[in-house]
Chains A and B, each alone.
Chain A
Amino acid sequence: MTHQAAAAEDTGSHSSLSRFIKSNIREYGMLLSLIVIMVFFQIMTNGTLFKPLNLTNLILQNSYIVIMALGMLLVIVAGHIDLSVGSVVGFVGAVAAVMMVQFHIHFIPTTIVCLILGGAIGAGQGYFIAYFKIPSFIVTLAGMLVFKGLALYILHGQSVGPFPKEFQLLSSGFLPNFLPGTFNSTSLLIGVAVTVLVIFFNFKDRQNQQKHSTAEEPFPFFIGRNILIAAGFIMFSYLLSSYKGLPNVLIVMFALIAAYAFITSSTTIGRRIYALGGNEKAARLSGIRTERLTFYTFMNMGVLAGLAGLIFAARLNTATPKAGLGFELDVIAAVFIGGASASGGVGKVIGAVIGAFIMGVMNNGMSILGIGIDLQQVIKGLVLLAAVCIDVYYKKKS
């Protein structure tokens, strides 16, 4: 197949190649920026960034941002915004702490209640936005204040902890090694298996495209991209395995990324969200229940914010009134760095994830370098601005 495909693509003129690069520069650019940023910090930190311990930390630190970015992507694609997620993280974490520490409720019912709570919060805000047509900016700004206040209230302004061991595993647990040796070979094997699976699906996808002769990506690009993905995945799993193995959170995160990538690209509900954000009136007149869809989008965001709240609390092993402070900014920035449009209808899950990792690597790298929190904020702000500028520039050009 490879030979035929390569031959078929070679017949494509140069103009179609340059057109492809032009129209996809954004996606490749993002991936490239992430790599450049990683290499930059790897060098600047004298190799600390990719030390297995640090890499594990990076993933743990970044997981809740990535998870919320998935929900935020849908919210932003639908043409809205959710400013309340940081406060919801804090509030849900506080509720979990009160339930488990003060009322000694088992962690499983607590987790379930907290996810439902997150969903209910999202649903409540979504209700005002979808059915009362109150701008999401205002509703979630109100939510941001309300839930920050409620978190303070139920914690009486104090930290509550520590949590039961089993609950902590959510954040500090690793996939156990079933094979002999200190090196976590199970994790590496799983990493390799996932890599093979991802590559397999990429090839199947391409085959499908070729069947309908819609494959636009030149074959060398396709191969190059896949080699890069495979190398990256396997290197990460190797590094992680040489420390403690794959973190539990990473597995949750990966499953969610895969699920949301699938939902947005291949399901009717995903398609409808894009249509809703692209032109609400046309979507409505095409028989899409725009209100209900908006409502669900926010409810989904709430559940993910609840999950992020649990993960964050488990990681700190206490619930503090300050938990989640400013998370919404990182999450929203990740989605916009990832190429979503503020006016709705445009954005990809993979973009948002890469955006979140760009933020995460910068946070981590700058912390290692001992750059103050003040300067970190300035730099992150400028990166966001630059990313969106580049976006606008290429949109104009094409």
Chain B
Amino acid sequence: MDTILAMPILEMRGITKTFPGVNALDNVNLTVREGEIHAVVGENGAGKSTLMKVLSGVYPHGSYSGEIHYKGEERRFRDISDSEKLGIIIIHQELALVPLLSIAENIFLGNEPARNGVINWAESFARTKALLQKVGLKESPSALITNLGVGKQQLVEIAKALSKEVKLLILDEPTASLNESDSDALLNLLMEFRRQGISSILISHKLNEILKVADSVTILRDGATVDTLDCHKEEVNEDRIIRNMVGRELTDRYPKRDPKIGDPIFEVKNWHVFDAIHADKEKIKGVDFHVRKGEVVGIAGLMGAGRTELAMSIFGRAYGQNISGEVRMHGKPVDVSTIQKAMHNGIAYVTEDRKNYGLVLIDDIKHNVTLANLKGVSSNAVIDDGRELAVASKYRKDLNIRCSSVFQQTVNLSGGNQQKVVLSKWLFTEPEILILDEPTRGIDVGAKYEIYTIINALADSGKGVIVISSEMPELLGISDRIYVMNEGRFVAEMPAKEASQEKIMRAIMKSWED
């Protein structure tokens, strides 16, 4: 931006917000200039989402202390609609779409193009189509949200924001569930908005993206502003941001390990799965793969490649129908036809959708951690509270879960800490094979490192780990071997040492040509 003297569109001064037992924000300042992309970064639980909820009126005036100045005036928002009227639109970290309504209905929910209360469907569909094109989502406006993956739902949210008169767009980890090309498209969109004079606040744990587009960066740590950097005036790089975020030097992104790989312990042969709803649509078209003892296997692919479907169908047919194929553990065929049997045979699956499939949000950390292995904390079906507490406290410590206590409801945890709770739950089942579906989505660099360490420890103890991830650097960094999946097939296999992002993309491209 060359309008260096651009006025601030937003100034948040001395914002303090407490929850029972937690000081989420402590005297935070944030200044966003007109027409800039302002990044907000910080570890999980640093208070980023809370700050944005204060700004957008989710937490109304009076529930926090401090002042919000927007377009030169002090504002006291009572709810979201107050801030929306002034063009502040927030897209929350947890998506807020109505699952059984169509894309078009969701986009214009509460804002329907209507005359005398009669909705003009033709117009709303046409406008939806245009908006979907803008965000690069190839779906019909009448498609139901529930049939879309999280990634596509994110795009719908952005399209929804665009349908309003937006001056300041707040995106809370918008690219967390997007793959590279979709993320790029989104970032380009933001830059396009900047040209149109729309300011944005971007929260992300993907620092490379931030460096690509941000004009300034505000760093939060433990609920306080640590620093604000101007990307045009000073040298800003990932190391500098990380240092500020975690308060210390983080030399390596991926923990070192020398793998001791043994015989195959887990094999899947000729695996076929049909769509859960449309019985004639084949989702997984004959997949063969294996995992060796002590090995971390990555599965790369684009959104919709069928990786989650593959994992869930193996995990006790949690997805799909007419499933055929064979699963072997330690060379012997095993029955994985129900989730209980799959778990009994040592398979664990950590979902990509922690809110809907991973956690009982109204329940506390302790209960969530032990849910998949209640036997481990009970005798004769009677739960031993002390043992349960000890288990939960151990995982809280091991995985560094930030919470006021293990009695805290998981709904009140920050996204990254929720993920750690789900992970704890599955680690506590002591699996032979751990399948991780996007395990670091929405997780800060420090916590990622911790999770990689846990993965390594698991592999080193002779278990097998399967990692599904859309972040290719991560796959390259932690896997021993990588499978590339596309449109329900495994199209390539390579040792991680020989793999590169280009090679993976080439394999996908090639499979399309064939």
Binding site for B on A (CB under 8 A): 19, 22-23, 208-209, 211-212, 214, 266-269, 271-272, 274-275, 278-279, 281-289, 345-346, 398
Contact = CB atoms under 8 A, between A and B. Distances in A.
B421 to A, nearest CB: 11
Contacts of B461: none
A279 B20 CA distance: 25
Given A268-B375, A281-B357, A285-B315, 18 more contacts: A209-B385, A212-B389, A214-B389, A214-B407, A267-B381, A268-B374, A268-B382, A271-B371, A278-B360, A279-B356, A279-B362, A282-B357, A285-B351, A285-B357, A285-B358, A287-B339, A287-B372, A345-B362
11 contacts: A22-B20, A23-B20, A208-B385, A266-B382, A271-B371, A271-B383, A275-B363, A278-B361, A279-B359, A279-B362, A281-B356
Interface centre among A214, A345, A398 (most CB of B within 10 A): A214
Given A208-B386, A212-B385, A272-B374, A282 B359 contact: yes
Nearest to B366: A214
Interface in B377-394: 378, 381-383, 385-386, 389-390
A286 B426 CA distance: 8
Contact of B367 (A211, A266, A275): A275
Contacts of A286: 371-372, 425
A274 B339 contact: no
Given A19-B20, A214-B407, A272-B374, A285 B339 contact: yes
Contact of B383 (A268, A282, A289): A268
Contact of A279 (B339, B360, B385): B360
A275 B381 contact: no
Contacts of A22: 20
A196 B78 CA distance: 53
B374 A271 contact: yes
A22 B363 CA distance: 18
Contact of B386 (A212, A284, A288): A212
B361 A279 contact: yes
B340 interface: yes
Interface in B382-417: 382-383, 385-386, 389-390, 407
A220 B351 CA distance: 45
Nearest to A346: B362
A284 B360 contact: no
A211 B390 CA distance: 12
Secondary structure of the A side of the interface? helix
A211 B386 contact: yes
Contacts of A269: 381
Interface centre among A22, A214, A285 (most CB of B within 10 A): A285
Contact of A275 (B318, B358, B360): B360
Contacts of A289: 340
B164 to A, nearest CB: 27
Nearest to A284: B339
Contacts of B315: 285
A281 B374 CA distance: 17
Contacts of B343: 287
Interface of B: 20-21, 315, 318, 339-340, 343, 349, 351, 356-363, 367, 371-372, 374-375, 378, 381-383, 385-386, 389-390, 407, 425, 429
A271 B367 contact: yes
Contacts of A288: 371
Contacts of A283: 360, 371
Given A268-B375, A275-B367, A287 B340 contact: yes
Contacts of B374: 268, 271-272
Contacts of B362: 278-279, 345-346
A271 B376 CA distance: 14
4 A-B pairs closest in CB distance: A278-B360, A286-B372, A268-B374, A279-B360
Contacts, number: 83
Contact of A278 (B351, B363, B382, B383): B363
Given A214-B389, A284-B318, A285-B318, A345 B381 contact: no
A18 to B, nearest CB: 9
Contacts of B367: 271, 274-275
B352 to A, nearest CB: 12
A209 B389 CA distance: 10
B375 A282 contact: no
Contacts of B21: 19
Contacts of B363: 274-275, 278, 345
A344 B425 CA distance: 22
Contact of A282 (B20, B356, B386, B389): B356
Contacts of B371: 271, 275, 282-283, 286, 288
Contacts of A208: 385-386
A19 B359 CA distance: 25
Contacts of A211: 386
B243 to A, nearest CB: 34
Contacts of A19: 20-21
B312 to A, nearest CB: 8
B434 to A, nearest CB: 14
A283 B360 CA distance: 8
Nearest to A287: B343
Contacts of A281: 356-357
Nearest to B315: A285
A12 to B, nearest CB: 12
Nearest to B405: A214
Contacts of B372: 286-287
A13 to B, nearest CB: 11
Contacts of B361: 278-279
Contacts of B349: 285
A282 B368 CA distance: 10
A288 B340 CA distance: 7
Interface centre among B340, B343, B356, B372 (most CB of A within 10 A): B372
Interface centre among A22, A211, A287, A288 (most CB of B within 10 A): A287
Interface centre among A211, A275, A345 (most CB of B within 10 A): A275
Nearest to A205: B385
A267 B20 CA distance: 30
A208 B385 CA distance: 9
Contacts of A214: 389, 407
Contacts of A272: 374
A345 B368 CA distance: 13
B341 to A, nearest CB: 9
Nearest to A398: B20
A231 B318 CA distance: 53
A278 B367 CA distance: 11
A208 B388 CA distance: 13
Contacts of A278: 360-363
Contact of A268 (B378, B389, B407): B378
Nearest to A344: B362
Nearest to B370: A271
A310 to B, nearest CB: 28
A274 B375 CA distance: 16
Nearest to A268: B374
A266 B383 contact: yes
B444 to A, nearest CB: 24
Contacts of B358: 282, 285
Contacts of A268: 374-375, 378, 381-383
B24 to A, nearest CB: 15
A166 to B, nearest CB: 35
A285 B338 CA distance: 10
A330 B111 CA distance: 42
A211 B359 CA distance: 28
Contacts of B429: 287
Contacts of B378: 267-268
Contacts of B386: 208, 211-212
Nearest to A216: B407
A275 B407 CA distance: 15
A23 B371 CA distance: 24
A365 B361 CA distance: 41
Interface centre among A214, A286, A398 (most CB of B within 10 A): A286
A341 to B, nearest CB: 8
